[in-house]
A and B are shown apart, each in its own frame.
Chain A
Amino acid sequence: MTAFANRRLRVLLAKLGMDTHTIGVTVIAHALRDAGFEVIFTGLKQTAEMVANTAVQEDVDVIGVSSLSAAHMKHLPKLAEFLRQKGAGDKLLIAGGVVPLEDIAQLERAGVQKIFTMGTETKVIVDYLQTWWAAKLAAEQSGG
């Protein structure tokens, strides 16, 4: 569709709470940029509500949270709740970092749609987002 020649996936990358480890999120940001995505970074020490507001203002498709401080069970469900409250529940919420496997099911129930655990290659994340984006665009086209 030529009318949508400028359609481009927008991703918000966020760090919540007192978690100040930035290397992982920086590596991801560069990988997503190189895949042709537009990445917006919130910076550090954000609250769930700040991230949700930012996601609305930037009209991103995806919110990716980097969590390395073991506070994921506290922040992620709250973020999912704020996104729903602010009418942004249709955006894809994903997370990555130090997340024990036994927490994943509960986070998924809370609305985190995908969790990438330690050691995930950036290519895996890029592939996941590309597949998700292609499906979203296809659904838009067929839905009119």
Chain B
Amino acid sequence: MSQTAAGIAAGVLAREIGAGARLIRWLEEGDPRGRDALATIYPHTGQAHLIGITGPPGAGKSTLTNALISEQRKRGRRVGVIAVDPSSPFSGGAVLGDRVRMQTHALDTGVFIRSMGTRGQLGGLSRATFDAILVQDAMGYDVVIVETVGVGQDELDIVSLAHSTVIVSVPGLGDEVQAIKAGLLEAGDLFVVNKADREGADALTRQLELMLHLREQTRPSDWTPPLVHTTALTGQGVATLTDELDRHLAMLKASGGFAACLKERNRHMFESLLQEQAARQILAAALAEPSAAQLISAVEQGDIDPYSAAAQLVGCISLKFS
């Protein structure tokens, strides 16, 4: 396999999974070749239907994703999947096990599944994930599914900036609706009660209906989020969910929402890159100031409060961006 940016970009556009996987890795690791290849493939992005799937641990997101892949394949679509799992905050390592539930598709050349660890870099998760989505999009996958536990701002950004955001819940977690964090309830375009054959599914459904009704009262919209019951393990309800996803996509395309969503995602990526690069340069400039060391030790000693110290240091930075 070619190891140049041009070679990998050509491979991505020729829909070679190996090239796509390598480019995702470069982008995730900050390899400069990744940026060059991304610039080449970028004009070929913007076509895929991006579906975000989130919900509490144990809700059955991976199993549901697996069933969704099967249904989308039945409908003749090629499917990309980005499965995000948490990295250990202690070692930085991770055990990524989402794809265990999806290995039935390992021999299907129309399916490309990529696991990602959250790695804990500042603002880096959403960027790395959006990069991976761009790669699969450029490879011509009709549908790209991002699956993640919706905890933290980064992960919320990822799912809420998808075209169709699916919130999965299950009966039996105690206060069921508590498990759906405030931001997620607002972000959801489709709601799923998975493991719907289990006891408590009816009670969960009633609670969700109430919450969605309240949401409708405060934030009226043209789209009423459907509530779908599934048993992902058997595939029960997954065709209905896919119908609803198709209906949502058709609505987005007719209303201009598809383009608007893409615009918002592009802007988000641009702003987070800007923030990251600007923060890095400003921080480096601040720490290079002669007074920095003295101020840091004064803060540590408690001789000056951190607010005043930060203001003082920022005041004497002279920025020269290269």
A binding-site residues for B, Cβ under 8 Å: 3-8, 10, 29-30, 32-43, 46-47, 49-50, 53-54, 56-59, 86-88
Residues of A within 8 A of B172 (CB): none
Rounded to whole Å, the gap between the CB of A125 and the closest CB of chain B is 14
Instruction: Answer whether A54 and B99 are a contact pair too, CB < 8 Å, given A3-B32, A6-B119, A86-B18.
Output: yes
B28 touches which of A6, A29, A39, A49 (Cβ 8 Å)? A6
- Report if A41-B96 is in contact (Cβ < 8 Å); known contacts: A35-B91, A58-B115: yes
A4 touches B115 (CB 8 A): no
The CA-CA distance from A14 to B145 in the complex, in Å, is: 24
Closest to B128 in A: A6
Which B residues touch A42, using CB under 8 A? Answer: 99-100, 103, 106
Chain B residues near A5 (CB, 8 Å)?
A: 30
- B29/A6 in contact, CB under 8 A: yes
State which of B88, B113, B121 has its C-beta within 8 Å of the C-beta of A57: B113
Task: Say yes or no: is B77 at the interface (Cβ < 8 Å to chain A).
Answer: no
Establish whether residues A37 and B100, one from each chain, have CB atoms under 8 Å apart when the complex forms.
no
Residues of chain B within 8 A of A50, CB atoms compared: 103, 106-107
Q: In the assembly, what is the distance between CA of A10 and CA of B94, in Å?
A: 9
13 A-B residue pairings within 8 Å (CB atoms): A3-B31, A29-B95, A33-B88, A33-B94, A35-B93, A36-B91, A39-B95, A41-B96, A42-B106, A43-B97, A47-B107, A58-B115, A59-B24
Chain B residue contacts of A53, Cβ below 8 A? 106-107
Interface residues of B in 111-158 (CB under 8 A from A): 112-115, 117, 119, 121, 124
Interface flag for B183 (CB, 8 Å): no
Q: Are A38 and B93 in contact (CB under 8 A)?
A: yes
